[in-house]
């Protein structure tokens, strides 16, 4: 695809063994329908090609992603948005090879949910990770499952209920980030070369299935339950709509607590 028009660039390095995907709508790299569709297309087109040993996902510009489109969270669009986004997350959780993420700057909302599917996260010192949805009167469905799996329930609930962020050092201490580097893409490729480049693709596929089979089974059930909670309970509240509209209107929300 033309790099000038696609929201996601795809190419290969390491003699074709490392599939590179790049979010390419800086500076926000919003995970809207176009971005998610392009990612799905790239994964479908590329994952069956060659002797892929890993995927490395990064982003163009100073920030990884500000998250999902707030406009697509509004009642007329949120059901379709959640289905599409959760399908991508399940696709990454089910990936037959390790998924590496290189994160610079802010990784917020859906951006953090996306990287939480990864096998290993590399980040710059100035990276910030947060689930700010609660500040908009909503919650983060996928993160409500993925973050406890990755960093434990107390730490995950702190992020989910307060909306506060973790800097790179705190994220590494929590177990979210595995390596801090000035150039996380270079660090990820170095890790690939040291640990995966000499492995059998067939063995990697079986090892991933073995390691993630239980996680994937539970994710399918929990994401469906969380979608239902979001759509049938949360989106019926006055505060959810008020919070989203306040964000879009660049004003502070007024809560009715119902």
DSSP 63: -
Q: What is the pLDDT of residue 4?
A: 54
Q: What is the pLDDT of residue 249?
A: 96
Cα distances (angstroms) measured from residue 101 to each of 56, 109, 122, 174, 241: 6, 16, 6, 17, 32
Helix (H, G, I), strand (E, B) or coil at 101: strand
CB 117, CB 136: distance < 8 Å: no
Mean pLDDT of the chain: 95
Give the residue carrying structure tokens 């390095």. 13
- The answer, yes or no, to whether residue 89 has pLDDT greater than 70, is yes
The neighbouring-strand residues paired with 22 are 9, 58
- 153-196 per-position pLDDT tens digit: 999 999 999 999 999 999 999 999 999 999 999 999 999 999 99
- The 10 Å Cβ neighbour count of residue 126 is 13
What is the domain partition of the chain in residue ranges? 1-182+201-258
CATH of 1-182+201-258 among 3.40.50.300, 3.90.226.10, 3.40.50.2300, 3.40.50.11030: 3.90.226.10
CB 78, CB 228: distance < 8 Å: no
- The answer, yes or no, to whether residue 230 has pLDDT greater than 70, is yes
d(CA 220, CA 225): 9
- The answer, yes or no, to whether residue 3 has pLDDT greater than 60, is no
Least confident window among 56-65, 68-77, 78-87, 197-206: 68-77
Residue 64 neighbours by CB under 8 Å, 6+ apart: 23, 29, 58, 101, 103, 104, 105, 106, 107, 111, 115, 127
Segment 223-247 shows an average pLDDT of 96
CB 60, CB 11: distance < 8 Å: no
Segment 196-210 shows an average pLDDT of 96
Burial of 104 (0-12, 13-18, 19+ CB in 10 A): buried
Residue 178 neighbours by CB under 8 Å, 6+ apart: 120, 121, 122, 172
- The answer, yes or no, to whether residue 200 has pLDDT greater than 90, is yes
What is the reported pTM? Answer: 0.96
**99-103 and 106-108 beta bridge pairing:** unpaired
Q: What is the pLDDT of residue 55?
A: 98
d(CA 225, CA 229): 6
Dihedral angle sign, alpha carbons of residues 177, 209, 193, 20: negative
């Amino acid at each position: 695809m033309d790099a000038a028009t696609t929201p996601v660039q795809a190419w290969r390095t390491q003699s074709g063994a490392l599939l590179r995907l790049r979010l390419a709508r800086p500076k926000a790299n919003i995970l809207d329908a176009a971005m998610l569709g392009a990612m799905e297309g790239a994964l479908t087109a590329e994952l069956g090609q060659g002797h892929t040993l890993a995927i490395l996902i990064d982003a163009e510009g100073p920030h990884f992603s500000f998250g999902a489109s707030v406009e697509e969270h509004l009642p007329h669009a949120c059901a379709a948005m959640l289905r599409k986004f959760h399908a991508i997350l399940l696709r990454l959780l089910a990936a037959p090879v390790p998924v590496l993420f290189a994160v610079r700057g802010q990784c917020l909302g859906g951006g953090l949910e996306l990287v939480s599917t990864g096998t290993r996260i590399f980040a710059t010192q100035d990276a910030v990770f947060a689930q700010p949805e609660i500040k908009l009167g909503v919650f983060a469905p996928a993160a409500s499952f993925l973050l406890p799996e990755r960093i434990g329930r107390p730490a995950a609930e702190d992020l989910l209920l307060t909306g506060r962020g973790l800097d790179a050092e705190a994220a590494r201490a929590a177990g979210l980030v595995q390596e801090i580097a000035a150039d996380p893409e270079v660090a990820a490729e170095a890790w690939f070369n040291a640990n995966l480049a000499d492995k059998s693709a067939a063995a990697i596929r079986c090892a991933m299935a073995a390691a993630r089979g239980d996680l994937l089974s539970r994710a399918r059930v929990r994401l469906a339950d969380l979608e239902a909670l979001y759509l049938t309970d949360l989106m019926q509240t006055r505060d959810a709509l008020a919070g989203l509209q306040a964000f879009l209107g660049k004003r502070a929300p007024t809560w009715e607590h119902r």
